[in-house]
Amino acid sequence: MLVGSKVRRVAIVGGSRIPFARAHGAYARVGNQDMLTATFKAMVSRFGLRGQILGEVAAGAVMKHSSQWNLVRECVLGSGLAAETPGVDLQRACGTSLEAALLIANKIALGQIDCGLAGGVDTVSDAPIVYSREYQQLLLESFRGRSLHQRVRPWLRLRPRHFKPVLPGVVEPRTGLSMGESCEQMARAWSISREEQDRLAWESHARAAAAYDEGFYKDLVVGFEGLDADNNIRRDTTVEKLAALRPAFATDGTLTAGNSTPMTDGASAVLLASEDWAKARDLPVQAYLSFGKVAAVDFVGAEGLLMAPAYAVPRMLVDAGIGLQDFDFYEIHEAFAAQVLCTLKAWESPEFCRDRLGLAAPLGSIDRSKLNVKGSSLAVGHPFAATGTRIVATLARLLEQRGSGRGLISVCTAGGMGVTAILERQE
């Protein structure tokens, strides 16, 4: 133990986020710092944290400008928290904010801190645009020049091609494939039909719309830049409408814009604390963050890019001493409908569980009525680094409403990794 003599339980006090918005729309003129600061401000207001020193704030963004090297600390300074509150940036692709929650939770459990915020933010609308390395080297050579001649000479090599920007893209450097192209391969390998994908996507939209109608997101989502709700939810979509869409990543593929997550801007955060800290401030405990696990796969030669959660979850179940069916809610990030379905099919497969997981029997199937019951990424959107704590806040609220129970979180990420967690609440 680094601090203390026993492991403390980690309470989830609650979460908040700004509405998630389709890229190049409502948030086109704001950036990561604006969105994450607004989210932190909402947390400060909701939980009475103005002027308070928290033990740590951990968050991150997948896509950010080089000038945002201290993004989280800057957002803390603009949030209303005491200036003495430290902040740290981290990044694990789409698992960033769930990883941030695990970092804060571990520090609380070990007694290093008593409370902290975890979160994430991402914007495609304000993506960093850079130029070729050749142009960069020309600029740096000029900068290093000692004399006027040395500073001017590199500019004689300037050509029109140097002004062509290098746009960011979600492409794996090792394979050259986009995430959608990689998931197409997974869908083929696991024989996931177009009909299955479209039905899961329709369910996500229908459930998200119903959740808004019943007031589930009332204080989980705080208005920002004229938005009061996620603007990707399609209330009028149907399985038939989704079936009419063209394949997005391969002419003969099954992944479409409808059963894949849209490019999205947004931010989210959750407040974690020790039970004593929460009790002293008369703050509620919605649930407890009890287990977490990270895994990675060899996606270049042995496994599908987004299959790592299929490995992380069973290892976490061993830690917890429970089975896959021992959950009241399953929150599986819908990067693509096909990814969710591949993961579920892998757990049902005797061959996969025996040969890849080393298990004597398959993990089995889950009750689909417990899966993403308030909608998930296909409907509400997926600002890469913000999705993890969006899910934590949603699941904690579900457990609070139920009064007791257990929930599973599974998030796939770029780079062939996965981040998973278990939330619990006792009566």
Q: Give the pLDDT confidence score for residue 1 in this predicted structure.
A: 57
Cross-strand partners of 328: none
> Would 185 be classed as within a structural domain?
yes
Determine contact, residues 337/242, Cβ cutoff 8 Å: no
Q: Give the pLDDT confidence score for residue 3 in this predicted structure.
A: 73
Q: Rounded to an integer, what distance in angstroms lies between the CA atom of residue 182 and that of residue 247? A: 14
Dihedral sign from CA coordinates of 174, 175, 176, 181: negative
Q: How many domains, in total, are found in the chain?
A: 1
Determine contact, residues 116/105, Cβ cutoff 8 Å: no
Q: Give the pLDDT confidence score for residue 411 in this predicted structure.
A: 98
The domain containing residue 418 runs over which residues? 179-215+291-425
75 flagged as catalytic: no
Determine contact, residues 328/405, Cβ cutoff 8 Å: yes
What length does the chain have? 427
Per the residue annotation, which of 94, 115, 183, 353 is the catalytic one? 94
> Would 237 be classed as within a structural domain?
no
Q: What is the pLDDT along the chain (427 residues), one digit of tens a residue?
A: 577 778 999 999 999 999 999 999 999 999 999 999 999 999 999 999 999 999 999 999 999 999 999 999 999 999 999 999 999 999 999 999 999 999 999 999 999 999 999 999 999 999 998 899 999 999 999 999 999 999 999 999 999 999 999 877 778 999 999 999 999 999 999 999 999 999 999 999 999 999 999 999 999 999 999 999 999 999 999 999 999 999 999 999 999 999 999 999 999 999 999 999 999 999 999 999 999 999 999 999 999 999 999 999 999 999 999 999 999 999 999 999 999 999 999 999 999 999 999 999 999 999 999 999 999 999 999 999 999 999 999 999 999 999 999 999 999 999 999 999 999 998 7
> Would 278 be classed as within a structural domain?
no
C-beta neighbour count of 355 within 10 angstroms: 10
Is-above-0.85 flag for pTM? yes
> Would 148 be classed as within a structural domain?
no
Determine contact, residues 69/90, Cβ cutoff 8 Å: no
Q: What is the CATH number of the domain that holds 396?
A: 3.40.47.10
C-beta neighbour count of 368 within 10 angstroms: 11
Q: Give the pLDDT confidence score for residue 12 in this predicted structure.
A: 98
> Would 193 be classed as within a structural domain?
yes
> Would 324 be classed as within a structural domain?
yes
Q: Give the pLDDT confidence score for residue 363 in this predicted structure.
A: 98
Torsion, CA 373, CA 379, CA 381, CA 382, rounded to 10: 50
> Would 387 be classed as within a structural domain?
yes
> Would 402 be classed as within a structural domain?
yes
94 flagged as catalytic: yes
Per the residue annotation, which of 115, 183, 342, 382 is the catalytic one? 382
Q: Give the pLDDT confidence score for residue 168 in this predicted structure.
A: 74
